[in-house]
Amino acid sequence: MNILGIETSCDDTSVAIIECCFGEVNQILSSVVSSQIKLHAPFGGVVPNLAARAHLENIKPVFNQALIKANNPKIDLIAVTIGPGLIPSLLVGVNFAKALAYNLNKPIIGINHLEGHLYANWVKECGRLSLPHHVGGLASHISQTFPALCLIVSGGHTQLILMKDHGQYQLLGETRDDAAGEAFDKVAKLLGLGYPGGPIISKRAESGNPDALNLPRPMLNSNDFDFSFSGLKTAVRYEIKKEKKLTNKYINDMAASFEQAVVDVLISKTIKAAKDYNVKSVMISGGVAANKKLREEMTKRVKKELSGIELRIPDISFCTDNAAMIATVGCYKKDIKGDWQKIEASANLRLVA
Ligand code: KG4
Ligand code: ZN
């Protein structure tokens, strides 16, 4: 069966088509992402109404391109992000998907964006990991994957989730203030590096010394799995204030020191949770999972401290927002499909209550 995914929750307009065969080969037939970075960069962040207008302009051409790339396949199910996200942005994708479902007379399913990020870890192999029987509409199977610990690190969220099986989640901890990606974006702004901050900080950090500045590791030793990044951002602001001039060397050193502080906290908490909950696999996802240092250090530390545990990290292109991950969730929930009239966007939709 072919699933068409639609994602417009923030500033990426994306449409993807995946072939989903339970127990058989699964492949991405097309995945098109149109980024609005250039549009929002002058404002230092996403402007919701501009984002919605750009989604409106882009959705049809992106949809057409996805169809052409996939060779105009038959579509069996439409999967669309319904939240969390910016309402003006979400509404464009949701209304487009509903109109499509009505016109083509196809079933439609509303997908939680965070669940999409989790399933970026299955984008390329969801066929391989499924078994032919379903429980409660979800594909279930016996494998070494579950229980899995998933670290979601994006621009809007930082959560540690225990995934007991497909579709079964327990929230272990989350950020009490800023998300990890948000902290990257704010620190980049303080350093005058532009938007989005993550990729620029990561690039500058490559030429900097991660030990140059002594920054805090907030909540590193707290007795829970929550995070906090706003104090770290404030510490960066105070450090910067002390400098007369932000030289290139200083910016590189600050970028490296900040990145190291974030990565240290994210990895230590993930490793501790993996041990406490005796998981079989660890996964990371979301835009910050594209960070090279996080990917490399997580790989090293899981190997060293969690022997025998599988680590999954999506391809970089599936860490930031994309519709292939949304269609992939649809692959696992294909039996829970609804009527187009019942699909609604929800800005604050939660994955786990
Ligand atoms: O998942 P995503 O595309 O959108 C949300 O759902 O929020 O994540 C975007 C976030 C931004 O804050 C961006 O700065 C961050 O991911 N990001 C990175 C990197 N690439 C994107 N953060 C650190 N290092 C990167 N290489
Ligand atoms: Zn996202």
pLDDT tens for residues 210-233? 999 999 999 999 999 999 999 999
- Paired strand residues for 110: 80
For 106-132, what is the mean pLDDT?
78
Instruction: Please measure the distance between the N-terminal and C-terminal CA atoms of the chain and give it in whole angstroms.
Output: 31
Residue 179 Cα: closest atom of ligand 1: 12
pLDDT higher than threshold 80 for residue 126: no
Q: The pTM is what?
A: 0.93
The overall average pLDDT reported for the chain is 92
How large a percentage of the chain has pLDDT more than 90? 86
Phi and psi at 138, nearest 5°, equal -105, 145
Which of 200, 288, 296, 317 has the most ligand 1 atoms within 8 A of CB, as the residue to mutate? 288
For range 333-348, the mean pLDDT: 85
Residue type (1 letter), 140: S
Confidence of residue 336 (pLDDT cuts 50, 70, 90): confident
- The residue whose C-alpha atom lies closest to atom 3 belonging to ligand 1 is 320
Q: Tell which atom from ligand 1 comes closest to the C-alpha of 196.
A: 14
Choice from 10, 262, 320, 326 to test ligand 1 binding pocket (greatest atom count within 8 A of CB) = 320
> Dihedrals φ, ψ of 135, to 5°?
-120, 120
Closest residue by CA, ligand 1 atom 22:
198
Looking from the CA of residue 181, the nearest atom of ligand 1 is 12
For residue 248, report the distance from its CA to the centre of ligand 2, in Å: 31
Q: Is the CB of 184 under 6 A from ligand 1?
A: yes
Give the pLDDT score at 353. 77
pLDDT reported for residue 136: 35
Helix (H, G, I), strand (E, B) or coil at 223: coil
Q: How confident is the model at residue 304 (pLDDT cuts 50, 70, 90)?
A: very high
DSSP assignments along 136-179, one per residue: TTEE----SS-SEEEEEE-SS-EEEEEEEETTEEEEEEEBSS--
Q: Using the predicted structure, report yes or no on whether residue 140 has a pLDDT greater than 60.
A: no
Q: How confident is the model at residue 22 (pLDDT cuts 50, 70, 90)?
A: low
pLDDT for 138 equals 41
Q: Residue 137 Cα, ligand 1 centroid: separation in angstroms?
A: 32
Residue 314 is classified by DSSP as: -
Q: How far is the CA of 198 from the centre of ligand 1 (A)?
A: 6
The percent of residues in the chain predicted with pLDDT above 70, rounded, is 92
Please name the residues in contact with 225: beta carbons below 8 A apart, sequence gap of 6 or more.
160, 172, 173, 269, 272, 273
Q: Is residue 333 predicted with pLDDT exceeding 90?
A: no
Say what the pLDDT of residue 127 is: 43
123 close to ligand 1 (CB < 6 Angstrom): no
